[in-house]
Amino acid sequence: MRRQNLALVMGEVAASGPVSRARVADATGLTRAAVSSLVEELRTAGLVAERGPAPSGRVGRPGSDLVVDAEGPAGLGLEIGVGHLGACLVDLGGRIRASVRVPADNRRRTPDVVLGQLARIAAELTETAVPHPAGTVVAVPGLVGAAEGQVAHAPNLGWRRVPVADLLRERLPDPLAALPLDVDNEANLGALADLWCGAGAADAVHISAEAGIGAALLVGGAIFRGASGFAGELGHVPVRPDGPPCACGARGCLEQYAGEAAVLRAAGLDAATGDPVTELARRAQRSQPAVLDALDRAGAALGIALAGAVNLIDPAAVVLGGAYAELGTWLLPAMRRELAARVAVRPWHPQTLTLSALGRGGPVLGAAMVTVRRIVGDPGGYAAGRADRSA
Amino acid sequence: MRRQNLALVMGEVAASGPVSRARVADATGLTRAAVSSLVEELRTAGLVAERGPAPSGRVGRPGSDLVVDAEGPAGLGLEIGVGHLGACLVDLGGRIRASVRVPADNRRRTPDVVLGQLARIAAELTETAVPHPAGTVVAVPGLVGAAEGQVAHAPNLGWRRVPVADLLRERLPDPLAALPLDVDNEANLGALADLWCGAGAADAVHISAEAGIGAALLVGGAIFRGASGFAGELGHVPVRPDGPPCACGARGCLEQYAGEAAVLRAAGLDAATGDPVTELARRAQRSQPAVLDALDRAGAALGIALAGAVNLIDPAAVVLGGAYAELGTWLLPAMRRELAARVAVRPWHPQTLTLSALGRGGPVLGAAMVTVRRIVGDPGGYAAGRADRSA
């Protein structure tokens, strides 16, 4: 019961802080005495702090307000992209306290080398940071199987059955190596970031497109993972059954029409250097016909595959996230056109399809937020684990 | 607590009866005295009965065994097909006590006329039956919206926004008119019948194909309905984006390749009389080339649409149910071939696709079982409702 009440108070401070003890008592239905006792425990655990009174203009002793402790535990998000590595540290208030994103040609490197560099990035980012990481989650562009920490398959990296958690932990220095470490699909983490940081719907298909195309299915605010953890493989939904062969072994998969390589080829940008999505956006902005046409065709293919998904899953919202959110101006019209034409058996509104505000920053932010949400949702469990570790 | 214990005892009698009080006590962890008291309450409510002792060959007074009361409440399932009407009465032991299925050209009749005939069928079936219906569920071949009892859209019947529950209740005689009355999609009820009556998996895509093609998504043993109750519209997943126009307004939907009308046309049987599925099976059995070819092409289209569904939803099983279960011999090879070729990004076994043993008998059986499961799952609630009604 006390553990639940700790979570109630912590949740109120995280959601509404700076907030007075009196307002926490009102919002939670607890007595002021109980709130004071619970706050004391949260302060001792380093989760809640007091902020000196602001001039209130009112008569009487002003009480200091409660805030989450910005120097307390934090969540560390790491990201393995096809063309980059990323890391970000988020404090209990949901603020990004440090972040890094570096280009990295991970397709041409072994998992050993990639994970070695990721470990160094994590160590550097957290070495001098004030809030200390309390847990690490890694976003990967592939299927994460039920066996913990295994990437069952990441075709765009050429990875198969790579034990990401184990390999990374071996390479992390203390104290990072001793922290909880999880691995999840990047689309799943991007969808959770959208949901947690504002605009996302609790029942949504969240598309994360870039080199590969994945999707996360949010059901009731949680990721729907399927029977084996492989749900959301939008990139390999057949768009044209007799279409071009795909790296997965099938034909006519969505990735063959809307994946980065296909779009660059259609736009005549195979040999372009630099960030391909930025390059596509730059040229689309200048109305280059080949680029506009390539993006329109990619949008149509995305719309066809999504029409199947909407007919099957009936989400409340469809969100275009990942790098392609930056191409929304040119992808959305064709996506909406196909969806309107193909989700015809019941009402469908074009505005059900929106752009993620987080774009390609979503997955690594979601990865960091997993730990933050875990602590805020069960501060008593965090405090107990901390006591165990120092015993 | 007593209500939960009533459900424990009822569940054990339903699952294992005939069963002795001693075995019920062992299985539930309740004392024999508690079991005897709970059994007495279930007997009074007309849910459990005693069966005289069978010769045991053992020394001592043989105790009588407990069974569900076959004269107690029952579930009434009703079914509106495109070409038939059906009804079935199932007792607490899951036995079909009465059933009827009559051809009916519902496509050419108004909802008024169809529901009038269905009400007469229900009245006749239950008039002389010994177990009395305690609730009615109607299976319909269309989308059932969130507004209770509304068929939002049943394109194969030409129905739009028909208030099925209200129209049917007005036509039912007492006491049927006063019972709980629900409406659900026929694929959903077919999937539940498969799950409850034996072979079904708890995480499955259940295809129900006939005039139209629907699917039910089972997640953790429950129907996944989506944000608006419209999930499972497999029939309108695009198979070939530029394919023939569909009645729904889109192009190249699965129904245009594997729906009954498309298959009959491809098989050259447009003008055949009698039950079209039986006719297809009869001719396929005789290896008529046009029929074999039509079924192989339908199977391929089903496989393509299902490949998208499996990549998105990751079910543990895929089940071909409804009328097409009777055509499994000729549909399954092409379905498995396409699934194997198109679910390539992770392991997929052809045996994951199986046939429903219930076939076109599934939906009406599932409709009747809903009420049976509700009573067995909460016998105390049933007894209390009964006392309220007689008060």
* Tens-place pLDDT, residues B253-263: 999 999 999 99
In a mutational test of the A interface, the residue from B160, B207, B256, B313 whose CB has the highest number of chain A CBs within 10 Å is: B313
Residue A367 has pLDDT above 70, yes or no: yes
> What's B195's DSSP letter?
H
Per-residue CA distances from A226 to A242, B195, B347 (Å): 27, 18, 14
Q: Which of B307, B313, B341 sits opposite A312 (nearest CB)?
A: B313
Q: How far is B106 from chain A (nearest CA, A)?
A: 20
Torsion sign, CA atoms A137, A313, A212, A97: negative
Torsion sign, CA atoms A17, A19, A24, A27: negative
Q: Are the C-beta atoms of B202 and B195 separated by less than 8 Å?
A: yes
Residue B77's pLDDT is what? 98
Longest dimension (CA), chain B: 78
Residues B335 and B306: their CA atoms lie apart, in Å, by 8
Residue A180 has pLDDT above 60, yes or no: yes
Q: Two tokens at B229?
A: 């109750």
Residue A60's pLDDT is what? 47
Residues B32 and A383: their CA atoms lie apart, in Å, by 45
- Residue ranges of alpha helices (H) inside B45-163 are 111-127
Average pLDDT over residues B229-245: 95
Asked if B312's CB is within 8 angstroms of A233's CB, the reply is yes
Residues A138 and A300: their CA atoms lie apart, in Å, by 32
Residues B50 and A240: their CA atoms lie apart, in Å, by 62
Per CB-CB distance under 8 Å, the chain B contacts of A250 are 307, 341-344
Q: For chain A, say whether B249 makes contact (Cβ under 8 Å).
A: yes
Number of helices (H), then strands (E), belonging to chain B: the values are: 13, 15
Q: Which of A342, A240, A344, A348 is nearest to A301 (CA)?
A: A240
Q: Which of A345-354, A367-376, B105-114, B229-238 has the lowest mean pLDDT?
A: A345-354
Residues B359 and B370: their CA atoms lie apart, in Å, by 18
Residue A343's pLDDT is what? 94
Residue A56's pLDDT is what? 55
**ipTM entry:** 0.90
Q: A238 forms bridges with which residues in the sheet?
A: A253
Per CB-CB distance under 8 Å, the chain A contacts of B340 are none
Per CB-CB distance under 8 Å, the chain A contacts of B308 are 237-238, 305, 308-309, 312
Residue B192's pLDDT is what? 96
In a mutational test of the A interface, the residue from B206, B225, B314 whose CB has the highest number of chain A CBs within 10 Å is: B314
Per-residue CA distances from B196 to B199, B222, B358 (Å): 8, 11, 11
Residue B156's pLDDT is what? 85
Q: For chain A, say whether B15 makes contact (Cβ under 8 Å).
A: no
CA angle A39, A41, A45 (to 5 degrees): 115
Q: What dihedral do alpha carbons B166, B169, B170, B175 form, nearest 10°?
A: -160
Q: Two tokens at A231?
A: 């749900």
> What's B253's DSSP letter?
B
Helix B32-44, helix B379-390: angle, nearest 10: 40
Q: For chain A, say whether B236 makes contact (Cβ under 8 Å).
A: yes
- What's the pLDDT tens digit per position in A121-171? 999 999 988 889 999 999 999 888 766 566 767 888 988 889 999 999 999
Query: Average pLDDT over chain B, rounded to whole?
Result: 91
Q: What percentage of chain A has pLDDT greater than the value 90?
A: 74
Asked if A249's CB is within 8 angstroms of B341's CB, the reply is yes
Q: Two tokens at A334?
A: 């064709």
Residue B198 has pLDDT above 60, yes or no: yes
**Side chain identity at residue B390, one-letter code:** S
CA angle B104, B109, B110 (to 5 degrees): 130
Per CB-CB distance under 8 Å, the chain A contacts of B224 are 219
Closest Cα in chain A to B249: A344
Torsion sign, CA atoms B144, A350, A357, A180: positive
Number of helices (H), then strands (E), belonging to chain A: the values are: 13, 15
**Side chain identity at residue B31, one-letter code:** T
Taking a contact as any Cβ pair under 8 Å apart, which residues of chain A between 104 and 143 contact chain B?
Answer: 143
In a mutational test of the B interface, the residue from A314, A349, A352 whose CB has the highest number of chain B CBs within 10 Å is: A314
Residue B150 has pLDDT above 80, yes or no: no
Average pLDDT over residues A179-183: 93
Q: For chain A, say whether B206 makes contact (Cβ under 8 Å).
A: no
**Side chain identity at residue A57, one-letter code:** G
Q: For the sheet with A213-219, list strands across it.
A: A222-223, A213-219, A204-209, A317-322, A353-355
Q: Are the C-beta atoms of B363 and B186 separated by less than 8 Å?
A: yes
**Side chain identity at residue B217, one-letter code:** L
Asked if A229's CB is within 8 angstroms of B314's CB, the reply is yes
- What's the pLDDT tens digit per position in A8-20? 999 999 988 899 9
Q: For chain A, say whether B171 makes contact (Cβ under 8 Å).
A: no
Residue B60's pLDDT is what? 47
Average pLDDT over residues B156-165: 89
Closest Cα in chain A to B229: A314
Q: For chain A, say whether B240 makes contact (Cβ under 8 Å).
A: yes
Residues B364 and B79: their CA atoms lie apart, in Å, by 6
Asked if A152's CB is within 8 angstroms of B312's CB, the reply is no
Q: Which of B203, B215, B308 sits opposite A237 (nearest CB)?
A: B308
Q: For chain A, say whether B46 makes contact (Cβ under 8 Å).
A: no
Per CB-CB distance under 8 Å, the chain A contacts of B241 are 239-240, 304, 338
Q: Are the C-beta atoms of A296 and A330 separated by less than 8 Å?
A: yes
Q: How far is B284 from chain A (nearest CA, A)?
A: 26
Closest Cα in chain A to B340: A250
Asked if B312's CB is within 8 angstroms of A249's CB, the reply is no
Residues B202 and B188: their CA atoms lie apart, in Å, by 13
**DSSP of A57-86, one letter per residue?**
-SSSPPPPEEEE-TTSEEEEEEEE-SSEEE
Asked if A311's CB is within 8 angstroms of B313's CB, the reply is no
Asked if B155's CB is within 8 angstroms of A226's CB, the reply is no
Q: How far is B237 from chain A (nearest CA, A)?
A: 4
Q: For chain A, say whether B200 makes contact (Cβ under 8 Å).
A: no
Closest Cα in chain B to A201: B227
Q: Which of A227, A237, A342 sits opposite B316 (nearest CB)?
A: A227
Is A31 or B198 the better-scoring residue by pLDDT? A31
**DSSP of A125-141, one letter per residue?**
HHHS-SSEEEEEEEEES
Q: How far is A4 from chain B (nearest CA, A)?
A: 24
Average pLDDT over residues B368-389: 90
Residue A271 has pLDDT above 80, yes or no: no
Per CB-CB distance under 8 Å, the chain B contacts of A246 are 344
Q: What percentage of chain B has pLDDT greater than the value 90?
A: 74
List, in order, residues 6 or more apart from A154 with CB less than 8 Å away: A140, A141, A142, A143, A160, A162
Q: Are the C-beta atoms of B207 and B322 separated by less than 8 Å?
A: yes
Q: How far is B184 from chain A (nearest CA, A)?
A: 16
Q: Which of A143, A217, A304 sits opposite B345 (nearest CB)?
A: A143
Q: Which of A219, A312, A346 sits opposite B153 (nearest CB)?
A: A346
Residue B173's pLDDT is what? 93
Q: Which of B231, B241, B314 sits opposite A231 (nearest CB)?
A: B314
Per-residue CA distances from B111 to A131, B151, B160, B164 (Å): 66, 11, 10, 8
Q: For chain B, say whether A227 makes contact (Cβ under 8 Å).
A: yes
Q: Which of A229, A232, A313 sits opposite B226 (nearest CB)?
A: A313
Residues B305 and B236: their CA atoms lie apart, in Å, by 9
Residues B254 and B298: their CA atoms lie apart, in Å, by 9
Q: For chain B, say whether A231 makes contact (Cβ under 8 Å).
A: yes
Taking a contact as any Cβ pair under 8 Å apart, which residues of chain B between 306 and 365 contact chain A?
Answer: 307-309, 311-316, 338, 341-346
Residue A59 has pLDDT above 60, yes or no: no
Closest Cα in chain B to A237: B308
Per CB-CB distance under 8 Å, the chain A contacts of B215 are 312
Per-residue CA distances from A266 to A257, A290, B214 (Å): 9, 7, 36
Longest dimension (CA), chain A: 77
Strand residue runs (E) in chain B: 48-51, 65-68, 73-80, 84-91, 96-103, 132-140, 143-144, 150-154, 159-163, 181-185, 204-209, 213-219, 222-223, 317-322, 353-355
**DSSP of B41-63, one letter per residue?**
HHHHTTSEEEEPPPP--SSSPPP
Per-residue CA distances from B210 to A181, B104, B191, B326 (Å): 49, 15, 15, 10
Query: Average pLDDT over chain A, rounded to whole?
Result: 91
Q: How far is A265 from chain B (nearest CA, A)?
A: 22
Per CB-CB distance under 8 Å, the chain B contacts of A311 are 233-234, 236-237
**DSSP of A92-114, one letter per residue?**
TTS-EEEEEEEE--GGGS-HHHH
3-state helix, strand, coil in chain A (%, to 5): 45, 20, 30
> What's B251's DSSP letter?
B
Residue B61 has pLDDT above 90, yes or no: no
Confidence of residue B196 (pLDDT cuts 50, 70, 90): very high
Asked if B315's CB is within 8 angstroms of A238's CB, the reply is no
**DSSP of A244-264, one letter per residue?**
-B-TTS-BSBTHHHHSHHHHH
Residue B166, classed as helix, strand or coil, is helix
Q: For chain A, say whether B386 makes contact (Cβ under 8 Å).
A: no
Residues B377 and B371: their CA atoms lie apart, in Å, by 10
Residues B189 and A104: their CA atoms lie apart, in Å, by 51
Q: Is the peptide bond before A175 cis (omega within 30 degrees of 0)?
A: yes
Q: Two tokens at A323?
A: 């790098």
Strand-strand pairing, A73-80 and A222-223? unpaired
Q: What percentage of chain A has pLDDT greater than the value 70?
A: 95
Residue A104's CB: how many other CB atoms inside 10 A? 20
- Residue ranges of alpha helices (H) inside B176-215 are 186-196
Confidence of residue A1 (pLDDT cuts 50, 70, 90): confident
Confidence of residue A75 (pLDDT cuts 50, 70, 90): very high
Residue B142's pLDDT is what? 87
Q: Which of A320, A210, A189, A316 is nearest to A255 (CA)?
A: A210
Closest Cα in chain B to A220: B227
Query: Going from the N-terminus, what domains does chain A have, and what CATH number goes with each?
Result: 2-68 (1.10.10.10), 73-189+363-390 (3.30.420.40), 199-356 (3.30.420.40)
